Structure 1
Amino acid sequence: MMKNRIVRGIAGSFILISLLLAVYVNLNWLWFTAFVGVNLLQSSITKWCLLDTILEKFGITE
């Protein structure tokens, strides 16, 4: 379950960071927020996540 926590933590961090960048730098950072959301939706439908694959290559498993 460690891998799932890492994936959720990174996704949540990306969303919060991109929201802060949208507020303080440029509203176009909201496109990154949308990209992360679309990837989360896609992974829930296909049961495949690129970050899962990357973490496995680093030796992080369930």
Structure 2
Amino acid sequence: MSLSIERAIMAFAGLMVLLSLVLTATVSHHFIWLTAFVGANLFQSAFTGFCPAAMVMKKLGLKTEAMIASGK
């Protein structure tokens, strides 16, 4: 099973939220802004379809679920 861009985005966003919460608790309360940024990015991408992380992942060679299903 190949990792799709969609699943990689969910994994990356989850990792960033968890990392920012750990940094907020241990380093500085200002890291909470990273959590807010990740959440805002996820929210806007749901409506616009624009996700910078997805563009980077596509350049790295990951495929969408549709591409994987069609065998491309």
1:10 aligns with 2:16: no
State the partner residue of 1:47: 49
When the two structures are superposed, what TM-score results if normalisation uses the length of structure 2?
A: 0.81
The offset of 1:21, in angstroms, is: 0.5
Structure with greater Cα Rg: 2
Q: Which has the higher helix share?
A: 1
Gaps of 5+ in 2: 65-72
When the two structures are superposed, what TM-score results if normalisation uses the length of structure 1?
A: 0.92
Find runs of 4+ consecutive structure 1 residues off by over 4 angstroms. none
**Identical pairs, percent:** 35
SS state at 2:22 partner: helix
Size of the alignment, in residue pairs? Answer: 62
Please give the root-mean-square deviation of Cα atoms over the aligned residues, in Å: 1.1
The offset of 1:53, in angstroms, is: 0.7
CA deviations on 1:29-50 (whole Å, 9 max, x unpaired) are 0011100010000100101211
